[in-house]
Amino acid sequence: MKIFTATLLLLFILQPLKAETNESELDDKIRKLLAEQKLTGIVWSGYSHDGPIMGAAGMANIANGIEMSVDTKVNVGSVTKTVLALGVLRLISEGRLALDANVEKLLPALNWQNSWGGATPIRVQHLLEHTAGLDNIRMWQFLNTKVTPDTPLSDAFTSSHDELLQVRTKPGNQYSYSNMGYTLLGMIIETVTKQPYEDYLKQSLLGPLGMNNSSFHFITQAEDPRLAMGYLEQGVPQPSVPIYLRPAGQFTTTAPDMLRLLEFMLGNGTINQRHFISPELMAMLGKPSSTKAFKEGLDIGHGLALASRDRHGVLSYCHPGTTFGFRAYLCLYPEEDKAFFYAINTDNEKADYERFNQLFIEQLEVKPVKQVKTTSVPKDLSDYTGLYVLSPNNMAQFAWLDWMFNSIWLSEQNGYLVIRSLQQPERRLEAINTTLFRDTNRQLASHIFITNEEGIKLSNGLKTYQKASPFLLLINWVGLILGLLGLVYILLRGTWLVLHRKRTIPTALLLPYLNIVLFAVPAYLYFHQHFLEFGNKTAASISLATFTGMIPIVLLISIVLMIKNKPANKFDYLGLGALLQLCLVLVYWDVLPMIFWS
């Protein structure tokens, strides 16, 4: 009996010591990783088997010499969507809104372009799950200095932009990430509650959760010294910036407040043992329910607020966040009552933020998931090999670029399907059954092939590819190379003729040469313009639109002049023709003229 009592006493004493030791080790690892990745500062919180964890490291403001603390406020980018989604789910739980409510009827003033509208309108669930088929974002909505903290949300969807709310895929059918979609959710909150969405969420969500140091309102470092300064690469400070699509990415919080949010989400949406959000809705937070890929058997995808994520041997329900000067991440492990959140006040494209996710997973000792086993193998993998293009791509404005540079090629190799692309490292897919496949770096089914009247599609739950003809892509690559060669030829020949003044430059060559030389004007203006003005209508953007719009017309005129004024240099014909065919392709894809303010 004495030995048993002594053992219990020893365990009681050692338990907090073990927790303190683990937190100290975590602090050291995070500080080391922060230095390795050249990042400024970090705050974090979470739940492990030992209970809550919380900490901070690095600098909040380098110029003012302020260190990060757990009470430092941070911006969290798209992690905002998770919090806003909970606000929408609260409205649904109260019976003030429905998951299947028709969004087009809730917001009738907007210029909807939904060819499936009669049979399949956009519903609130589609917006939450990113399955509405909407475009993600336009450059003028993202980089624009004309927006203010009080700009009405409807200004992001002005009627002058006819194709802004064009539905690109059948609502509910497949995932396509959309910042516009979550901004529409902010507008729906305002329609239902008759007040600014920021105020409603403060009163009806943040207040009850005790998140008193968090806000959806725009906050600057000048107004609130507790807000960490954001930083870009090479330590360039980046203060907070107001944005058009603020319901999708504007939220300021602290590590203790996010700890309360994690506790609420792990507690199945209860406050004081009462359901604040319906348990049925909470069960759908991170699990897909409506997409074609899910219905065909792929469990990975996006739920009402989070995306399921198979990484580092564990299954997580997460949401990342990026905004000017900040990166953030939130992940839940509901079956183990574990979770983590962190925010880093540096947005550095060269940093490997995934290492922080791995570190927290290891620190929380999340249980690995069992690797799914093969049940049957397709008789012939050749049906799945070939070229696949994004269908649709994430931003309609850059469809041509994604088609050219982000398409993938599948080939068979030693019983595996191998994915190759220009942008990503090679990946191997192992068959689970005739349609489901597993990335060999994953534990669960990661891809599914769907065959329908449109052909064969490949989905990983978050991206969908359509099998396409490699011939068309090859032709376009040949056209791109020839067009660039034509541009270089015109530039070099025109410059040579200018330098040798004894020779007269033919008008047919002079016109496109001057047009190309004039591209230096927008290049110079953009170089001396702040990057946040990229989506504004400025001298730089107007000159770029003008000169890129002129080039195909000038080339046509030049070729006509050459035909009339024979004889002409045959290489001039080839140079002008090569560049013209590229320009016509870019006009077809809406790349030319280059207009970023619409």
| Total Cβ atoms within 10 A of residue 361 | 20
In this prediction, residue 254 carries a pLDDT of: 98
Listed in sequence order, the residues at least 6 apart from 541 whose beta carbon sits closer than 8 Å to its beta carbon are 522, 534, 535, 595, 596, 597
Nearest to 427 by CA among 438, 435, 436: 438
Q: Peptide bond before 567: cis, by omega within 30 degrees of 0?
A: yes
Nearest to 35 by CA among 301, 262, 297, 346: 346
Give CA–CA dist 573/559, Å, rounded. Answer: 7
Q: Is the dihedral of CA 443, 446, 449, 450 positive or negative?
A: positive
Going edge to edge, which strands form the sheet with 326-333?
A: 66-67, 51-61, 41-48, 338-344, 326-333, 314-323, 307-311
pLDDT lower than 50: segments of the chain: 1-19
Give CA separation, 181 vs 63, 85, 293, in Å. Answer: 37, 11, 20
pLDDT tens digit string along 493-514? 999 988 886 567 888 999 999 9
DSSP string, 190-222: HHHHSS-HHHHHIIIIIHHHT-TT-BSS---TT
Give CA–CA dist 34/510, Å, rounded. Answer: 55
Nearest to 78 by CA among 168, 210, 180, 150: 180
Buried b / exposed e along 123-140 (16+ C-beta atoms within 10 A): bbbbbbbbbbbbbbbbbb
pTM of the model: 0.94
Nearest to 139 by CA among 521, 526, 537, 529: 537
Q: Which domains does the chain have, with CATH numbers?
A: 74-364 (3.40.710.10), 381-468 (2.40.128.50), 477-588 (no CATH)
Report residue 31 as tokens: 């500080």
Give CA–CA dist 103/126, Å, rounded. Answer: 9
- Could you give the residue ranges of the DSSP H alpha helices within 373-469? 399-405
CA-based angle 23:25:30, to the nearest 5? Answer: 95
